């Protein structure tokens, strides 16, 4: 277990960017990253989150270690999307959100991680019965994720039925499952 009083701030030090590893977090070759985006992606990919995986194993012993590693990888990607957009992105995955919750328990490591990647703390804003992801938030997440990594899919990213069960009832029936049908990924204003 990581002792928060003696957390090593070097756990999340900016790594040396290896030109040979040009696709951090398996970003699509068609997505042109800026130098800063590449730096953020590389920091996120290089962070050693062994203690988060260990915590998840204790909190969710019924879930396999491989499933926890997949959720941690998708957590890194979710955070990477923050470097690509200023839009609000919906957290659509219970598994990825569980990673975030586990990581938040390690307050110093989480703060160091955010500082290394973004230069500031990234706040977690949980859903409430009055506020949940909107259709616009879900659509923006799907658009950004697909543009950077390809279409998200099960088991970590939910189907429409799972979204309705979690309270995103503002989506039309079948919309989340077909959100990407006919979706045009337009270049951003900055030419990317």
Does residue 176 fall inside a structural domain? no
Question: Could you tell me the pTM of the whole model?
Answer: 0.75
Does residue 32 fall inside a structural domain? yes
Does residue 28 fall inside a structural domain? yes
Core vs surface per residue 52-76: b (16+ CB within 10 A) or e? bbebbeeeeeeeeeeebebbbbbbb
pLDDT tens string 113-161: 999 999 999 988 877 767 767 778 888 888 899 999 998 877 888 766 6
Q: What percent of the chain has pLDDT over 70?
A: 69
Total of domains in the chain: 1
Q: Are 67 and 95 in contact (CB under 8 A)?
A: yes
- For residues 156 and 80, give the distance between their C-alpha atoms in angstroms, rounded to a whole number: 17
The number of residues in the chain equals: 192
Does residue 140 fall inside a structural domain? no
Does residue 153 fall inside a structural domain? no
Does residue 89 fall inside a structural domain? yes
Most distant CA atoms of the chain, gap in Å? 51
Joined tokens for residue 113: 């991680």
Does residue 12 fall inside a structural domain? yes
- For residues 53 and 39, give the distance between their C-alpha atoms in angstroms, rounded to a whole number: 24
Q: Residue 108 burial by CB count (10 A; 0-12/13-18/19+): exposed, middle or buried?
A: middle
Place of tokens 């390690």: 106
pLDDT tens string 57-88: 999 999 999 999 999 999 999 999 988 988 77
pLDDT of 185 reads: 34
Who's near 114: CB < 8 A, 6+ residues apart?
Answer: 120, 121, 122
Joined tokens for residue 49: 């989150």
Does residue 163 fall inside a structural domain? no
pLDDT of 165 reads: 67
Domain residue limits at 91: 4-131
Question: 10 falls in which pLDDT band (50, 70, 90)?
Answer: low
Which of 74, 89, 97 lies closest to 166 in space, CA to CA?
Answer: 97
Question: 98 falls in which pLDDT band (50, 70, 90)?
Answer: very high
Mean of the per-residue pLDDT values of the chain: 78
Q: How far out from the chain centre does Cα 144 lie?
A: 11
């Amino acid at each position: 277990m990581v002792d928060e009083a003696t957390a090593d701030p070097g756990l999340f030090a900016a790594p040396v960017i290896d030109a040979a590893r040009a696709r951090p977090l398996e970003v699509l070759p068609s997505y042109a990253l800026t130098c800063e985006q590449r730096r953020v992606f590389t920091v996120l990919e290089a962070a050693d989150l062994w203690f988060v995986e260990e915590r998840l194993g204790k909190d969710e012993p019924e879930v396999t270690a491989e499933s926890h590693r997949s959720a941690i990888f998708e957590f890194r990607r979710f955070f990477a999307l923050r470097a690509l957009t200023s839009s609000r992105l919906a957290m659509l995955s219970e598994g990825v959100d569980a990673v975030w919750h586990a990581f938040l328990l390690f307050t110093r490591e989480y703060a160091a991680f955010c500082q290394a990647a973004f230069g500031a703390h990234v706040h977690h804003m949980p859903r409430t019965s009055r506020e949940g992801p909107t259709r616009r938030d879900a659509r923006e997440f799907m658009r950004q994720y697909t543009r950077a990594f390809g279409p998200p899919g099960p088991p970590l990213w939910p189907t429409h039925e799972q979204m309705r069960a979690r309270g995103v009832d503002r989506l039309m029936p079948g919309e989340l499952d077909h959100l990407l049908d006919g979706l045009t990924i337009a270049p951003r204003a900055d030419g990317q």
